[in-house]
């Protein structure tokens, strides 16, 4: 509460500062952001009890560690502007979309005795992967994670199921259309044709999905057979309850969420928008956020309590994500500013890695650098930074010699969000929901061990196929 009160106090004053100049900023301004990431990584590992009860306060402390010297150095107005920008232009749209999808999908309950066999699990992952490009990775993840967990609640080995769910449904599946993941939607708004993304991201998404589903089926089959032989999980009964779906009206509300997101991208009203403490709040974004809130309220009202009880629905996972990402969105601002400064900023050495001596983009490095940064930073602004570094002209990027540069940025920013829990918004949500259902999810680094072993060889294959041989 004290943290919230401090933020409200900040926003009570007008901003009088310009944007943070990343070209002259020290990397030390990114230290609080790094400390939040380290806390997320090490907290559950070394002081899990303290972290579980006080992660919000710890995140608030690191956030204030950034804001206090920032205000002292650049003035109160600059501090207000930074917080307002993070809240108005990034955090509020992010958390409202997540809240809407979480609440609405939590109103859809699948009853019946689903047995989590390797065949069923692989099918559910495939369906979720396909849905990700239609309703976004967050929407598909929130819709599919509960049926998957329900189907496997009697299984002894479940961690790998959730991990591959994050790989496929929460990340890679969203690469096929601009609706799938925020970076691609940003590209769409910048002039990248909808069908360009569909056509040229098809093979990367297809190859990734087939490989990962095959690997998952092999791993899940091994665990399933072991469970049966060691009697670690009960054998499926011959008599199965008929599968029923309750809360079907929520599917219509999910379609409304997709429509609201599309509205904000396609509708260009003749209206200047609103200025809130130096941050621009466009009318179409206001309409989108209002619709999301309305849809959330409708879902909460019309969904019977028994349905949400069947899903063991509560707001603890969204509250955890909300607290952590509030700090992340505020403290990440100087890091992104430095990155946007390009070769004039403190990360010039990193930026210079993606161009040769003649200034031409190195597509392999575009893929890996945009990807690695997207694993730890917000993938949407990371995409935008590399998009602009490649020239920023959508037509030239789609048709000219920079074609593979655009493909590299698109693939890297979407696919490599799966490398860490914080690489994409639904990753952490899925983790929180799974843990609440009793799945002992690995630590930050434990998850990265999985992602490095499984995904890095796949991304190396992509590097050869798409950027060395350029087969597609």
Residue 10 within a domain: no
Q: Cα torsion at 72, 77, 78, 80 (round to 10°)?
A: 100
User: What is the domain extent for residue 433?
Assistant: 29-230+246-468
The confidence score (pLDDT) of residue 130 equals: 95
The confidence score (pLDDT) of residue 31 equals: 94
Whether 467 and 408 have beta carbons less than 8 Å apart is answered as yes
Residue 23 within a domain: no
Give dist(CA 7, CA 262) in Å, integer: 30
The confidence score (pLDDT) of residue 262 equals: 86
Is pLDDT at 354 greater than 70 in this prediction? yes
Q: Which of 376, 356, 447 lies closest to 416 in space, CA to CA?
A: 376
The confidence score (pLDDT) of residue 235 equals: 61
Residue 181 within a domain: yes
Residue 288 within a domain: yes
Give dist(CA 397, CA 381) in Å, integer: 18
3-class secondary structure, 110: strand
Percent above pLDDT 70 for the chain: 94
Give dist(CA 164, CA 168) in Å, integer: 6
- Model-level pTM? 0.85
Is pLDDT at 405 greater than 60 in this prediction? yes
Residue 13 within a domain: no
The confidence score (pLDDT) of residue 238 equals: 52
The confidence score (pLDDT) of residue 14 equals: 38
For 144-153, 239-248, 335-344, 414-423, which range has the lowest pLDDT when averaged over its residues? 239-248
Residue 300 within a domain: yes
The confidence score (pLDDT) of residue 16 equals: 37
Number of domains in the chain: 1
Residue 240 within a domain: no
The confidence score (pLDDT) of residue 9 equals: 36
Is pLDDT at 3 greater than 80 in this prediction? no
| DSSP track, 134-175 | HHHHHHHHHHHHHHHHHHTTT-S--HHHHHHHHHHTTTGGGG
Residue 9 within a domain: no
Q: Is 242 exposed, middle or buried (0-12, 13-18, 19+ CB in 10 A)?
A: exposed
Is pLDDT at 11 greater than 50 in this prediction? no
Write out pLDDT tens, residues 129-177: 999 998 899 889 989 999 999 999 989 999 999 999 999 999 999 999 9
* Mean pLDDT (whole number) for 345-374: 89
């Amino acid at each position: 509460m004290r943290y919230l009160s401090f933020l409200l106090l900040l926003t009570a004053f007008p901003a009088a500062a310009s944007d943070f100049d990343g070209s002259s900023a020290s990397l030390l301004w990114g230290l609080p952001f790094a400390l939040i990431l380290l806390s997320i990584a090490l907290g559950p590992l070394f002081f899990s009890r303290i972290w579980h009860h006080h992660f919000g306060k710890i995140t608030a402390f690191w956030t204030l560690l950034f804001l206090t010297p920032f205000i002292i150095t650049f003035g109160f107005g600059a501090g207000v502007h930074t917080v307002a920008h993070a809240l108005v232009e990034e955090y509020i749209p992010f958390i409202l979309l997540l809240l809407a999808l979480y609440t609405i999908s939590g109103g859809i309950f699948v009853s019946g005795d689903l047995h989590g066999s390797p065949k069923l699990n692989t099918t559910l992952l495939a369906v979720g992967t396909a849905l990700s490009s239609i309703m976004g990775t967050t929407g598909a993840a929130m819709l599919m994670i509960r049926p998957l967990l329900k189907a496997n609640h009697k299984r002894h080995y479940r961690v790998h199921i959730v991990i591959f769910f994050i790989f496929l449904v929460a990340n890679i599946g969203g690469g096929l259309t601009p609706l799938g993941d925020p970076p691609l939607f940003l590209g769409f708004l910048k002039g990248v044709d909808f069908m360009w993304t569909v056509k040229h991201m098809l093979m990367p998404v297809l190859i990734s999905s087939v490989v990962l589903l095959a690997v998952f089926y092999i791993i899940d089959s091994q665990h399933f057979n072991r469970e049966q032989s060691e009697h670690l999980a009960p054998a499926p009964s011959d008599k199965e309850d008929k599968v029923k779906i309750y809360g079907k009206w929520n599917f219509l509300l999910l379609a409304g969420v997709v429509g609201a997101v599309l509205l904000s991208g396609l509708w260009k009203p003749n209206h200047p928008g609103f200025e809130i403490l130096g941050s621009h709040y466009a009318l179409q974004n206001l309409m989108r956020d209002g619709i999301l809130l309305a849809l959330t309220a409708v879902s909460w009202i019309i969904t019977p309590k028994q349905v949400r009880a069947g899903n063991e629905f509560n707001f603890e996972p969204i509250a955890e994500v909300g607290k952590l990402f509030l700090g992340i969105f505020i403290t990440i601002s100087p890091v992104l500013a430095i990155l946007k400064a390009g070769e004039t900023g403190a990360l010039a050495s990193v930026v210079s890695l993606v161009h040769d001596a003649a200034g031409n983009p190195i597509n392999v490095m575009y893929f890996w650098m945009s990807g690695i940064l997207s694993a730890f930073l917000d993938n949407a602004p990371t995409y935008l930074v590399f998009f602009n570094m490649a020239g920023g002209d959508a037509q030239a990027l789609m048709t000219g010699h920079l074609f593979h540069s655009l493909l590299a940025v698109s693939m890297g920013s979407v696919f490599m969000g799966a490398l860490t829990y914080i690489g994409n918004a639904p990753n952490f949500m899925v983790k929180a929901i799974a843990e609440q259902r009793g799945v002992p999810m690995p630590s930050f680094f434990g998850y990265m061990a999985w992602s490095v072993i499984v995904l890095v060889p796949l991304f190396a294959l992509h590097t050869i196929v798409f950027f060395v041989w350029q087969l597609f």
